[in-house]
Amino acid sequence: MSLVQSLDEALSAITDGIMLVVPREVCGVPMAATRALIRRGVKDLHLVALPTSSMQADMLIGAGCVKTLETSAVSLGELGAAPRFTSAVLKGQVAMKDATCPALHAALQAAEKGVPFMPLRGLIGSDVLKYRDDWKVIDSPFGNSDPIVLLPAINPDVALFHAPLADEYGNVWIGRQRELVTMAHASKRTIVTVEKIEKRNLLDDPLYAAGTLPGFYVDAIAVAENGAWPLPLPDTYKADGEHLALYAKMAASEEGFREYVGKYVLAMQVA
Amino acid sequence: MTFLPEELLADQIANFIGDVRHVAVGNASPIPATAALLARERGKLQGLGRPYVSLLGSAKNTFWTDGGRELFDCAGQGRIDVFFLSGGQIDGEGNINLVEIGDHAHPKVRFPGSYGSAYLYYVVPKVILFRTEHSRRTLVPRVDFISAAGRSEPNVHRTGGPVALITNRCLFTFADGRFTLVSVHPGHTVEEVIEHTGFDFERPSVVPETPAPTDETLKLMRDKVAPQLATLYPQFTAKVFEHRESALLG
């Protein structure tokens, strides 16, 4: 199959129960892909939001796609709490692996280096650490009574994000959103939606190359114009504040969320 | 000049920032952002090229080119001097809770999550806590969940921690695991602070009033800081700084 696929074809590797890593709310969130996953009804995801999320995690949780959520925070920012996330956690419908931002970055860095763990400062004495039985505290072998936390590598099955531009070789321009590169390095497969594909080689231009994820790491690309909407795409377009406010209002109740999904997810046709 | 409470708080926070190299401000923190930019404007007046100010969530006001981890790597190395944190609950030992209220297995309230607090609280030398709802609901005897601990055992690597807590009613400093009331904002009283604080704290026999921002400070905030804030915090900037007497006009 060619690297460039339809959205549904590209997302076919995201099957029930996999570990999926997605970027934070301002970093190229694949919202068109998220709507496609909800339409398909993917289930039991172990969702890793690096290191936080907003509407994307809230929608996936509200639509019943998530079994485990590993992140540092989910919030709609100035629009307040993420309502479907909050409700699901209080009802015990989603298993939480509460983290702290640098722990998620570090655990993915361990994966990209192919090492089993990464040490991190901080955390000791917190309940974040207390409730993470997969994290360990050791005495630093290079110190003298210097306890330090070890985080096991996070090796996601799939990294999924949205970016402004790809070329015909599968190289994806991510600009300064470097965590997208870490996500791709750390994951077994990487699926990217883009605004457009240009007939050129991004790696031929040093100005682009420095901000490019090489096609070597990319398994599937789908074109999804305005694919981060209603969230922003850095250096490309701003958030749709009005629509986000509409979501916050509708998702405040279970019924309102269903209505939102019916109107803006299920009814939306995707090329 | 008359002033709004937000301007008083920003002035006080700017004083706490002091003369440092790098101040970072998290998301949804308009008052700390005002304070950080005020500190930078004061630095300019003194001919200093500092502090650097990083406002997270604003590509214009950050220099990061290495992704989300760069902030935390910077902090781990001691390259961030001041950061700001809040909490759904804050207790008298400086512990903060950004996760939940109630029993962990069956929480009654869920907050967004700990963000970077469980790390930054330990490695940023001056963490300034701010909470604009000063009540027994928020300032509690003991937090239900410790997102980040106020103090650590002596052998735990710790180059940072809380130095102050500023609220809508007063200013506390934090040292040796306890808060001390430093001043009470105009229009508020010590009795009121005691009544609305869920933890014990130290206080001098006479507690001064928090000093009003000077005309020079108000002028800097309204004429220099407000225009820089408007893109990131349009609603806050409009509410606090627009349609108000400008020092230049007044």
Name which of B151, B156, B158, B233 to mutate to probe chain A: the one with the most chain A Cβ atoms within 10 A of its Cβ.
Answer: B156
Partners of A131 on chain B (C-beta within 8 Å) are 104
Asked whether the beta carbons of B160 and A121 are under 8 A apart, the reply is no
Q: Which residues have C-beta within 8 Å of that of residue A28, sequence separation ≥ 6? A: A161, A162, A163, A174, A177, A180, A228, A233, A234
End-to-end Cα distance, chain B:
9
Query: How much of chain B exceeds pLDDT 90, in percent?
Result: 88
For A81, name the nearest residue in chain B, comparing CA atoms only.
Answer: B112
Residues A53-108 have pLDDT tens digits of 999 999 999 999 999 999 999 999 889 999 999 999 999 999 999 999 999 999 99
Interface test with chain B among A100, A145, A183, by most B beta carbons within 10 Å: A100
Interior/surface letters A166-191, b for 16+ CB within 10 angstroms, e for the rest: bbebbbbbbbbbbbbbbbbbbbebbb
Q: Measured between alpha carbons, how far apart are the two ends of chain A, in Å?
A: 18
Q: Are B97 and B198 in contact (CB under 8 A)?
A: no
- Tell me the per-residue pLDDT of A233-263, one tens digit each, with 9 for 90 and over: 998 999 999 999 999 999 999 999 999 999 9
The residues pairing with B81 across neighbouring beta strands, listed in sequence order, are none
Dist CA B12 CA A175 (whole Å) = 38
Q: With 60 as the cut, is the pLDDT of residue B246 above it?
A: no
Say whether B68 and A126 touch across the interface (CB within 8 A). no
Contact status, residue B163 vs residue B174, Cβ threshold 8 Å: yes
To the nearest whole Å, the CA of A73 is away from the closest chain B CA by 4
Going from the C-alpha of A241 to that of each of A231, A235, B28, B165, the distances in angstroms are 8, 17, 15, 32
Distance between CA atoms of residues A247 and B34, nearest Å: 29
Q: Which pLDDT tens digit goes with each residue over A160-196?
A: 999 999 999 999 999 999 999 999 999 999 999 999 9
**Is the distance from CB of B92 to CB of B178 less than 8 angstroms?**
yes
pLDDT for res B27: 84
Contact B113 A180 (CB under 8 A): no
Estimate to the nearest angstrom the gap between the alpha carbon of A106 and the chain centroid.
15
- The secondary structure of chain B in percent helix, strand, coil, rounded to multiples of 5, reads 30, 20, 50
Question: Shortest Cα distance from B215 to chain A (angstroms)?
Answer: 31
Cα angle, residue A247 at apex, residues A32 and A195 outer, rounded to 5°? 25
CA distance A50 to A69: 11
Peptide bond between residue B107 and the one before it cis (omega within 30 degrees of 0): no
* Concatenated DSSP letters of A117-178: EEEESS-TT-HHHHT-TT-EEEE-TTSSS-EEEEEEPP--SEEEEEEEEEETTS-EE-TT-T
Chain A residues lying within 8 Å of B64, measured CB to CB: 176
Beta-bridged to residue B102, according to DSSP, are B107
Pick from A249, A246, A245, A170: nearest CA to A212: A170
> With contacts defined as CB-CB under 8 Å, which chain A residues touch B107?
89-90
Mean residue pLDDT across chain A:
96
Contact B134, B74 (CB under 8 A): no
Predicted local confidence at residue B242, as pLDDT = 78
Mean pLDDT across A126-153: 97
Going by C-alpha positions, the residue among A232, A95, A240, A230 that lies closest to residue A175 is A232
Predicted pLDDT of residue B244: 59
Alpha helices for B77-205 (secondary structure H): 117-123, 190-196
Question: Do the Cβ atoms of A179 and B67 come within 8 Å?
Answer: yes
Residue of A211, A160, A161 whose CA lies nearest to A18: A160
What is the structure's pLDDT at A269?
A: 58
Structure confidence by residue, pLDDT tens digits, A186-197: 999 999 999 999
| Average pLDDT score over residue span A207-235 | 97
Query: Residue B213 carries which side chain, given as an amino acid letter?
Result: P
Q: Are A159 and A191 in contact (CB under 8 A)?
A: yes
B28: pLDDT confidence band, cut at 50, 70 and 90? confident
Q: Which of A55, A94, A96, A105 to mutate to test the interface with B (most CBs of B within 10 A)?
A: A105
Spatial separation of the C-alpha atoms in residues B188 and B170, rounded to whole Å: 8
For B232, nearest residue in chain A (alpha carbons): A78
Backbone angles phi, psi at B56, to 5 degrees: -65, 145
Contact across the interface for A98 and B114, Cβ inside 8 Å = yes
Look at A124 and B104 and tell me if their CB atoms are within 8 Å.
no
pTM above 0.90, yes or no: yes
In this model, does residue A129 exceed pLDDT 70?
A: yes
8 Å CB contact of B119 and A102: yes
The dihedral through the CA atoms of B181, B185, B189, B193 has a sign that is negative
Q: Do A75 and B99 touch (CB under 8 A)?
A: no
Q: Which residues contact B25 (CB under 8 A, 6 or more apart)?
A: B32, B33, B36, B53, B54, B55, B56, B83, B84
Alpha-carbon distance B16 to nearest alpha carbon in chain A (angstroms): 23
Pick among A58, A76, A126 to test the B interface (most B CBs inside 10 A): A126
CB contact under 8 A, A86 and B153: no
Sequence-ordered strand ranges (E) for chain A: 19-23, 45-50, 52-53, 66-71, 73-74, 95-98, 117-120, 136-139, 147-152, 158-167, 172-173, 189-198, 212-213, 220-223
Give the pair of three-digit tokens for residue B67: 């992704």
Separation CA B185–CA B202 (nearest Å) = 17
- Give the position of tokens 């001056």: B126
Q: How far apart are CA B7 and CA A237, in angstroms?
A: 32
Q: Whats the size of chain B, residue-wise?
A: 250
Could you give the ipTM of this predicted complex?
0.96
